[in-house]
Structure 1
Amino acid sequence: MTGSAETVLIVVRGPSGAGKSSIAARLRAAYGRGIAVVAQDVLRRTVLRERDVPGGANVGLIDVVARHALDHGFHVVVEGILHTGHYGPMLTRLVADHRGRSHLYYLDVDFDETVRRHATRPWAAEVSPQDMAGWYRPHDFLPDGLEHVIGPDSSLDASVERILADSGLVPPGWTPRP
């Protein structure tokens, strides 16, 4: 078991360019201290400098970091592409073991839209649409309906508001838009 009845686990998955990191940053900014962001790209690419492969070391590292933060009373946002084939079993175990509330979201954005969004990033030139095509898996949902699907029409603000409302992580003075 991990975490406590008070901790909240949020998982935000989806294709490259779907808005996962932006949502995680906005959740942290809205909530303030006490929320840990466990970013797949940081652990896989920066810490380990590892490719995304089945059974990669980053899968276990994401799990350990999320559990450690939950066990120390932090709410946790795990975010990344987190393909079901590579990360699904770990995410399913993490949710099953979490004593508190868990909320999982899949950002269901089509390939053309992910490329359009990616082009607005400062580091867009480092990753080509061909690279993105190799990572893209449409409708890569976890089994058993574990996730809420957020479609491409949901704005960043609306997505963050939904997750805050669903999770109960309501920052002081926050009221959802009507």
Structure 2
Amino acid sequence: MEHPTPRPSLTGPSLIVLRGNSAAGKTSTAWHVRALFGAGLALISQDNVRINVLAEPDVAGGAAVEMIDAMVRTALRRDYHVLLEGVLATARYSRLLRDLHQDHPERSFFFYLDIPWRETLARHATRRKQEQFGEEQMAQWFIPHDVLDGVGEISIGPCSSLDQSAHLILNSAFRGF
């Protein structure tokens, strides 16, 4: 089986981090970015690593942090652009995210889907996952305005459509995309 080769870059691979609360639209946005960009963009999902690969809750000291770090660094070393998406709460992931930014400062782009609680609930009501957990559990997870300082994180608000958000990310990471 042939593997797609990464899209070449004159300045090296980009690291894109897309964070936000559950049901903010991170996964949908990430997949839209991937569809627009095409081959050469490694999409790494915190939930996929944590839930599907490790079957691990999102806890301090969990193996997910180390595995995400290894996956991101491997993809970057292999000249893939990387889009890391997930809640990636600052309480548990700030060190990882800051280390990645420090080791890749010129080509790191951080985005935070800053969606208010009521809009988060409305978005959750449209997902298949609404059957798995409801408002009470989401309220326990919700962290308002969990922006990560020191990495130039750009907040994307609720008025930005899926397409607008994806194009903002692509235009920031790949000038003139």
Counterpart check, 1:91 vs 2:77 = no
Change (3 A) 1:169 1:79: farther
CA distance in 1, matches of 2:160, 2:36: 18
Alignment of 1:152-167 (within 5 A): 152-167=158-173
Q: How far apart in 2 are the matches of 1:98 and 1:69?
A: 13
Measured in 1, the distance between the counterparts of 2:78 and 2:158 equals 35
Kindly provide the CA deviation profile for residues 30-81 of structure 1, in whole angstroms up to 9, marking residues without a partner as x: 1111000110000001100111111211011111101111110100000000
Matched, 1:38 2:37: no
Q: Match for 1:138 among 125, 135, 144?
A: 144
Would the aligned equivalents of 1:7 and 1:100 in 2 still touch at CA under 8 Å?
A: no
Deviation at 1:7? 0.3
Residue deviations 1:106-147 (CA, integer Å, cap 9, x gap): 110011111110111123111111111111000111122530
Alpha-carbon separation, structure 1, partners of 2:79 and 2:175: 14
Pairs within 5 Å for 1:101-120: 101-120=107-126
Give the counterpart of 1:122 among 122, 128, 134: 128
Corresponding residue number in structure 1 for 2:4? none
SS at match of 1:127: coil
Superposition map of 1:54-93 within 5 A = 54-93=60-99
The runs of 5 or more residues in structure 2 that have no matched partner are: 1-9
Letter in 1 for 2:116: D
Listed one character per residue, the Cα deviations across residues 7-47 of structure 1 (whole Å, up to 9, x for unaligned) are 00000000111110011101110111100011000000110
Identity %: 44
The number of aligned residues is: 168
Q: Which runs of 5+ in 1 are unaligned?
A: 172-178
Compute the RMSD of aligned alpha carbons.
Answer: 1.5
TM-score normalized by structure 2? 0.90
Q: Structure 1 residues 169 and 24 mapped into 2: Cα distance closer, same or farther (>3 Å)?
A: farther
Structure 1 runs (4+) deviating above 6 angstroms are: none
TM-aligned CA deviation for residue 169 of structure 1? 6.6
From 43, 53, 58, the equivalent of 1:47 is 53
